[in-house]
């Protein structure tokens, strides 16, 4: 077994590289079972822990998934390409389309675990929304499931006084979603800001997103601004990093 990056590369990494190349070359297709620990031990003359680490690398990268009692398989789920600019255009939600339709390409998307509540404003939210801490916010929490796979948790915060009595306070916000309803309230979003970070998931996040051990999450915090720079929504999103490609396409 040779190493592209030199002899100092750990054995488990070299095995993972070889398996990754085999997946890329089509030797193992979506849903195929990869060689097990015993197979790798025999082929590469390594200890069980080394073989286990190699398979763990592919699972952490989102290329493979472990099935209890069956082995490790090439992941069949096709990552979602999140088009960060196109999905937020007024042409998208202003015409009654969900911003998600820019990403899903006809794949089946469902939203579950929906809750809509009115709550005291968390301090970090009050500062960004520029509202008094004693004010209330409408909190919309959802889980997004694509092709049967949970991929995203999202919690939106909007000034309760602004959205009172509108469809935003209901589970179904109607055609065009929250941004179309804000436009009807005279608070049309005209500018967005997104911040992206990553970390390991909490126990609750890992459970709700059905994450394989070692899979990190991406955190996207989006703020929507109306005319005059008025912030009207904060959306805190937790993404399964193995389920997404973040795409930003813009002119120089």
Query: Where are any strands of DSSP class E within the chain?
Result: 64-67, 71-74, 80-83, 109-120, 136-146, 149-159, 191-199, 217-226, 230-240, 244-247
- pLDDT tier at 3, thresholds 50, 70, 90: very low
Residue 207 is assigned to a structural domain of this protein: yes
List, for residues 61-100, the tens digit of each pLDDT value.
778 888 888 899 998 777 788 888 778 887 788 777 787 7
- pLDDT the model gives residue 64: 86
What one-character-per-residue DSSP string does 78-93 give? PPEEEETTGGGSHHHH
Are 126 and 25 members of one domain? no
CA–CA distance, 149 with 73 (Å, rounded to integer): 16
Residue 3 is assigned to a structural domain of this protein: no
Are 189 and 103 members of one domain? yes
List, for residues 172-209, the tens digit of each pLDDT value.
999 999 999 999 999 999 999 999 999 999 999 999 99
pTM, full prediction: 0.77
The CATH number of the domain holding residue 67 is: 1.10.10.10
The CATH number of the domain holding residue 230 is: 3.40.1410.10
Name the domain boundary from 74, 101, 126: 74
Are 130 and 96 members of one domain? yes
Backbone angles phi, psi at 19, to 5 degrees: -70, -40
Are 243 and 122 members of one domain? yes
- pLDDT tier at 7, thresholds 50, 70, 90: low
Domain encompassing residue 188: 80-247
Q: How many CB atoms lie within 10 A of CB 17?
A: 18
Contact 100, 109 (CB under 8 A): yes
């Amino acid at each position: 077994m040779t190493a592209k990056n030199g002899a100092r590369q750990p054995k488990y990494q070299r095995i993972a590289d070889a398996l990754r190349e085999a997946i890329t070359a089509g030797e193992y297709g979506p849903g195929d079972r990869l060689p097990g620990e015993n197979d790798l031990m025999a082929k590469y003359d390594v200890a069980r822990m080394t073989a286990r680490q190699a398979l763990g690398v592919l699972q952490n990268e989102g290329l493979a998934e472990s099935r209890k009692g069956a082995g490790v398989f090439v992941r069949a789920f096709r990552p979602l390409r999140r088009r960060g600019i196109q999905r937020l255009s007024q042409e998208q939600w202003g015409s009654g389309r969900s911003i998600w339709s820019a990403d899903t390409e006809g794949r089946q998307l469902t939203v579950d675990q929906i809750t809509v509540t009115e709550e005291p404003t968390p301090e970090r939210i009050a500062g960004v929304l520029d509202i008094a801490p004693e004010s209330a916010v409408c909190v919309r929490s959802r889980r997004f499931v694509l092709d049967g796979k949970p991929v995203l948790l999202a919690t939106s915060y909007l000034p309760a006084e602004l959205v009172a009595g509108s469809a935003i306070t209901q589970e179904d916000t109607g055609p065009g979603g929250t941004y179309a309803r804000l436009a009807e309230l005279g608070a049309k979003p005209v500018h967005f800001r997104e911040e992206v970070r990553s970390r390991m998931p909490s126990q609750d996040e890992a459970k709700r997103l059905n994450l394989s051990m070692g899979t990190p999450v991406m955190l996207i915090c989006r703020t929507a601004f109306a005319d005059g720079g008025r912030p009207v929504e904060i959306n805190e999103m937790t993404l399964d990093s193995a389920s997404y490609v973040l795409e930003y396409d813009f002119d120089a």
